[in-house]
Chains A and B, each alone.
Chain A
Amino acid sequence: MNSSLILRTGTRALVPVFLLVAILVLLRGHNEPGGGFIGGLLAAICVALYEKAFGVDEARRWLRLPPMTIAGIGLAAALLGGLWGVVEHGMFLTGVWPLYEYGPDGWTGWPVGSVLLFDTGVFLVVVGVVAAILFALEEAGIPEDRPEDGEEHS
């Protein structure tokens, strides 16, 4: 790869931190600024950074799953989150909190449930689609003979 050593080293150090932040943003999104969209975009930027530093092929290996598969899993997770509501309350997309209780002191317990599953789905969709388009854009060839208005190449 023709990217600089600094970029590659920096990426290696930064990407894990970034990903951790992205997941934290996803998890705390229900109560603080953040959420699936923002976390997903952060993670997508990680992927972009990795791709810039090591190239498309390396980035694909690093992701393990094909990007559109990730997006598909995300969509399925969001749907499942919705269907969970159907099972529990008979209403699509109604929030279900199996370990979370509302009492006089507010909500107590573990804030996990259908809503988190839904938001994780959103997260995965954003990561998957952005990565897919990014890789495809990088891989798309430059038209060799660019007629008329193709004056310069960079």
Chain B
Amino acid sequence: MTDPTSYKAGLWRFVPATVQAILFGFFCTYLAPVSGGQIFDYVYPWVPALGIEAAFRVDALSLLFALLITGIGAICFLYAASYFEADRRLKRLLTLMSLFAAAMLGLVLADDAITLFVAWEMTTLTSFLLVGFDHQKERARYSAQQALLITGIGGLALMAGLILMGEAAGTYRISEMGDLTNAPMYLVILLFIFIGAFTKSAQFPFHFWLPGAMAAPTPVSAYLHSATMVKAGVYLIARLSPQLGGTDIWIWTLTLVGAATMVVASFWALRQTDLKLMLAWTTLMGLGALMMGLGGGSYYAVGGALTFIVVHAFYKAALFLTVGLLDKGAGTREADQLSGLRRAMPRAFIIAMLAGASMAGLPPFVGFIGKELIYEGALQSPVQGIFAATASLIASALMIAAAGMVAIGPFFGEQKSPKEAPKDPSPLMWVGPGLLAVGGLLLGLFPQGLDALITQMTQTVRGEYGAPEVKLWHGVNTALFLSLLTFALGALFYRYLRAIQGSLIIEERRVPDSDRVYDILLNAMKNTAAWTARTVQDGRMMSYLRVTFITLGLMVWAAIFAGEGQVATLELDIPLFHWVIVAITAACTITILFTGSRLIAIAALGGVGAAIAVIFVLYSAIDVAMTQLLVEILIVAFVAIAFIKLPRAGTGALRIGDAIVASVLGLGVTFGMLAVQGADIALDVTEFFEQASYPEAAGRNVVNVILVDFRALDTLGEVAVVVIAGIAALAALRAGKRIKE
């Protein structure tokens, strides 16, 4: 970004939006058959050896998500193309967002657990890159890392959960897994899946990364962190409901976690002054409501939750983009600095009103239907109904106040904004959110379009027939009364918004929040890592060498104790000459240990080698003996040349610790060899070599035939290693100057 004013992106910037629109159209063609109950499977082999397939399935649930991803994707890509049209980073932004869109599509369409996991991780990674888009800013880097760590940990848990599911079911095709609630590992599976879903969908107490992720550019926040990616956890829970759902622990965990997220988030939403952050907290509220609804299990609860996915995607993406309009057009997102803009920015105003009304759940917007269904579902839930209904009531009322903050606050009253002449940005920017806002109204007026799809989805999730009717007027019932109560409470909350904000700001300092816990844990982890590195890797070569030998010793002894063979019977009855040779070897070895003279040490080393050569001769290894003897001559010659150029060895004091380490290792080798000799020996390979050596390889020296024919590849590798060792030694010997004086 040398000079942002001079840059204007070319027409290519509309390509990604077009691609998304085409994909949206493509998925629309599935709408009719899928609403009629058809399911499309596409299976390609991927890693056949492990039973992993690239399996995809278009059913009502995945189709709805695919439509949201591509539809809202098209709008957000279009918006981004003009939001960043004077920014050289647009290419990077659109590339990353396109990658994300592909990954997200893969996630919702996948029918193979491993495919799903890979796509899931791809969304985590692209989200990390997009949150850290402004990587020059420390805050963005911090938030990106936080989002990555939280969702990454969730991803690991998800992988464990999916693998356990696959093993329990005997297949990795999700649609073929069947009911796993009686699987022996059910609770463990559930724990892992929940951690995966709750971290991704920012459920309490993992919720804090989502407001942090608002460091991303506005189109990204609208797309990833409100409409699509954060719903992946919800999608997962919905997708796995037939396999894992219906148990008490399922119902209660989802209800409690969802309700806690919902209530906590809607309170903190009111505390925010940055409208984008405020929307992020209301997104958390929506996600909590979805989790709670899916946990409810009744067809109203599930249907309500699934309807709410659509509802939420429409109004929340529209509002996020509207906040972007305010930011561009009026110069800030701070609620305090904006008011009375309805004449200056009429289009933003209309969009905000429409979307805000849907968010508040006013009739005849689709938000009203969503809220009604959630109430209905809460009331119908067998046990936790009252609890869920109360939580929904509080959260929805607070949501009305929040909707007021974004839809009323900036537009009414005296005109005020940081920019001198606030005005609507170009049509390319407001047409997308406008479509979403109007769509929210149309879906509310004509909910029949949604009805068939929701029915199919509810059936997919619940695995049995029966779904709520998606319509505007459900008659006079408890849900309607709850709605009226919500409106009253909401109006009250909005009226006293300032007072609530004030007390929340005071509370904020006292309430322990998980963001701080995260920081503490992260720091503790860093400190532990630093301490471990300092302790284990102290930079002293001798420490490393000691650790190596101690480990080696322990491994040898462990092998002895783990082995089945018994120690061979001791047999010391050998000819005197053999004893002499052994004694010479031992004496030379001990001489090397204790001599301070290099010359004696070299001579003794030669003695050890020669004596061992004799042992080889005595036990019929002529070739080996010859090699040993010749190599020993060369070693002695080389060492003699080299040691002249090295300092005297010196003996030093007896090092008890090292002596113990060395003795333990040496004794281990002795007993290990005795144990090996006590075990049976397999001679079939040797016998093959003996029989094939002459007729097939034309050689009478079996050892040589093994080297140059049967196992010639080993020998070839070996001579290559010798050449490499030679080159390396030459390099070391001829290298230039001293590093340090």
Contact = CB atoms under 8 A, between A and B. Distances in A.
Task: Please determine whether chains A and B interact with each other in the same assembly.
Answer: yes
B726 interface: yes
Contacts of A90: none
B723 A72 contact: yes
Nearest to A72: B723
B708 A36 contact: yes
B733 to A, nearest CB: 4
13 contacts: A33-B626, A33-B701, A38-B627, A48-B634, A68-B730, A75-B719, A75-B720, A82-B716, A118-B708, A121-B719, A128-B723, A143-B645, A151-B647
Interface stretch (B137-145, B466-474, B529-537, B692-700): B692-700
B634 A30 contact: no
Interface of B: 622-623, 626-627, 630-631, 633-634, 637-638, 641-642, 644-645, 647-648, 650, 694-695, 697-701, 703-705, 707-709, 712-713, 715-716, 719-720, 722-723, 725-727, 729-730, 733-734
Most chain B CB inside 10 Å of its own CB: which residue of A74, A93, A146? A93
CB-based closest 8 A-B pairs: A129-B726, A41-B630, A31-B700, A30-B699, A136-B733, A33-B622, A93-B712, A35-B704
Contacts of B698: 30, 95, 97, 100, 102, 107, 111, 115
Contact of A68 (B634, B703, B708, B726): B726
Nearest to B622: A33
A31 B648 CA distance: 46
A92 to B, nearest CB: 7
B722 A125 contact: yes
Interface of A: 29-38, 41-42, 44-45, 48, 52, 68, 71-72, 74-75, 78-79, 82, 92-93, 95, 97, 100, 102, 106-107, 111, 115, 118-119, 121-122, 125-126, 128-130, 132-134, 136-143, 146, 148-154
Given A44-B630, A115-B698, A137-B733, 16 more contacts: A34-B704, A41-B631, A45-B634, A75-B719, A82-B712, A107-B698, A115-B708, A118-B708, A126-B722, A129-B726, A138-B641, A139-B733, A142-B645, A146-B647, A150-B648, A153-B644
Contact of A136 (B633, B647, B697, B729): B729
A6 to B, nearest CB: 18
Most chain B CB inside 10 Å of its own CB: which residue of A41, A102, A111, A141? A41
B634 to A, nearest CB: 6
Nearest to B631: A41
Given A42-B630, A75-B719, A35 B622 contact: no
Contacts of B630: 38, 41-42, 44-45
A41 B628 CA distance: 10
Contacts of B722: 71, 125-126, 129
Nearest to A122: B719
Contacts of B650: 149
Contacts of B647: 146, 148-151
B625 to A, nearest CB: 9
B716 A136 contact: no
Chain A, interface SS category: helix
A90 B701 CA distance: 26
Given A34-B704, A35-B708, A140-B645, A41 B634 contact: yes
Given A142-B644, A149-B648, A151-B648, A38 B701 contact: no
Most chain B CB inside 10 Å of its own CB: which residue of A29, A134, A143? A29
A119 B637 contact: no
A120 B627 CA distance: 16
Contact of B701 (A32, A74, A151): A32
Contacts of B633: 45
Given A35-B707, A68-B726, A115-B709, A74 B695 contact: no
A95 B697 contact: yes
Contacts of B713: 82, 92-93
A31 B725 CA distance: 30
Contact of A78 (B694, B699, B719): B719
Nearest to A82: B716
A29 B701 contact: yes
A32 to B, nearest CB: 6
A73 to B, nearest CB: 11
Contacts of A148: 647
